[in-house]
Amino acid sequence: MDYPILNSQTITYEQLAKTIDHSLLRPELTRAEVIQGCELAARYHVASVCVKPCHVRLAWEVLKGSDVAVGTVVGFPHGSSTTAIKVAEALQALEDGATELDMVINIGELRSGNDDFVRQDIQAVVTAAKGHIVKVILENAYLSKEQIVRGCQLAEQAGAHFVKTSTGFAPSGATVEDVRLMRASVGPRVQVKAAGGIRTLEAILEIIDAGATRVGATATAAILDAFRARQNSVQ
């Protein structure tokens, strides 16, 4: 296992901050708002920002020299791009400065039982990423439990580093039940990222206890400020 096991009782502020991918994916965000979001991420020393592909270079410029990685999305939000387009998106993102890629699985092909296609689609992006982190978004809102398990297994077979619950743009986001199922469906080298609707300290700690080691969040400041306040109250 290449990552620490975290739990709500022993997690430190620094560890909690490094579970967060600060999400800057809303379609209406301006360049100024992206810059502000990146600056917030740097102040709170989170794991990464996750920006739209058009903002990768901007985020890289703001965050260079910081301890915050630049991530972006591939095939977002529906996963329906052809494999060639997903690969092109991945290559462009890396050229622009991204080091983490959150790609959306082809949801319809997974639901159709076309496992070879799904595995090869993921593998093509993993290969293009050349060792950089690839997180595979399943979009659990549209999947049965069996399909979630199968999607996790295909992502692992394809060499992905993470399986992820949601884009944040489907009818529902991360649930504790789904995170536990995903954690149980992959081996120890694959991590679980939860995203969608995680807006409070209590919610993120519950998700971490379920097995997530990364969390996509927009309420980053509120979550980490609440943790700091709780720490201060017991000292």
Q: Can you give the CATH number for the domain in which 158 is found?
A: 3.20.20.70
Asked if the structure places residue 68 within a domain, the reply is: yes
Asked if the structure places residue 71 within a domain, the reply is: yes
Provide the domain limits for residue 126: 13-233
What's the distance, CA 188 to chain centroid? 17
Nearest to 41 by CA among 192, 220, 233, 232: 220
So what's the pLDDT on residue 1? 61
pLDDT digits (tens, 9 = 90+) for 141-194: 999 999 999 999 999 999 999 999 999 999 999 999 999 999 999 999 999 999
Asked if the structure places residue 6 within a domain, the reply is: no
Asked if the structure places residue 2 within a domain, the reply is: no
Each residue of 8-25: b (16+ CB within 10 Å) or e? eeebeeeebbbbbbbbbb
User: What residues are labeled active site?
Assistant: 102, 164, 193
Asked if the structure places residue 114 within a domain, the reply is: yes
Number of folded domains in the chain?
1
Burial label, 68 (beta-carbon count in 10 A; 0-12, 13-18, 19+): buried
Rounded CA separation 188/142 (Å): 26
For 104, the 3-state DSSP assignment is strand
Which regions in the chain score pLDDT beneath 50? none
pTM summary value: 0.96
C-alpha triplet 150, 154, 158: angle, nearest 5° = 170
Each as own residue / partner, the long-range contacts of residues 24-33 (CB below 8 Å, 24 or more positions apart, any chain) are 24/49, 24/50, 24/51, 24/52, 24/55, 24/59, 25/50, 25/51, 25/52, 25/73, 25/76, 25/168, 27/52, 29/55, 31/55, 31/58
So what's the pLDDT on residue 228? 96
Asked if the structure places residue 4 within a domain, the reply is: no
Asked if the structure places residue 76 within a domain, the reply is: yes
So what's the pLDDT on residue 235? 67
Asked if the structure places residue 7 within a domain, the reply is: no
